[in-house]
Amino acid sequence: MILPEHLHCVWTLPEGDADYPERWRRIKGGFSRHVPSCGLRSPSKKVKGERGIWQRRYWEHTLRDETDWQRHIDYIHYNPVKHRHVEWVVDWPFSTFHRYVEAGVYPRDWAGSGKVGDGGFGEV
Residues 112 and 89: beta-carbon distance below 8 Å:
yes
Residue 94 lies in a domain: yes
Q: Mapping DSSP to helix (H, G, I), strand (E, B) and coil, where does residue 79 land?
A: helix
For the question of whether the overall pTM of this predicted structure is more than 0.75, the answer is: no
Q: Average pLDDT, whole number, for the chain?
A: 83
Distant-in-sequence, close-in-space partners of 90: CB < 8 Å, separation ≥ 6? 97, 98, 101, 108, 109, 110, 112
Residue 5 lies in a domain: no
DSSP 8-state symbol, 14: P
Kindly report, residue by residue over 53-73, the tens digit of the pLDDT: 677 777 888 899 999 999 999
Kindly report, residue by residue over 17-35, the tens digit of the pLDDT: 988 889 888 988 888 777 7
Q: Mapping DSSP to helix (H, G, I), strand (E, B) and coil, where does residue 122 land?
A: coil
Domain that holds residue 97: 66-114
Residue 86 lies in a domain: yes
Residue 54 lies in a domain: no
Residue 102 lies in a domain: yes
Domain count across the chain = 1
Residue 43 lies in a domain: no
Binned at pLDDT 50, 70 and 90, residue 112 comes out as: low
Residue 35 lies in a domain: no
Residues 83 and 89: beta-carbon distance below 8 Å:
no
Rounded CA-CA distance 6/60 in Å is 14
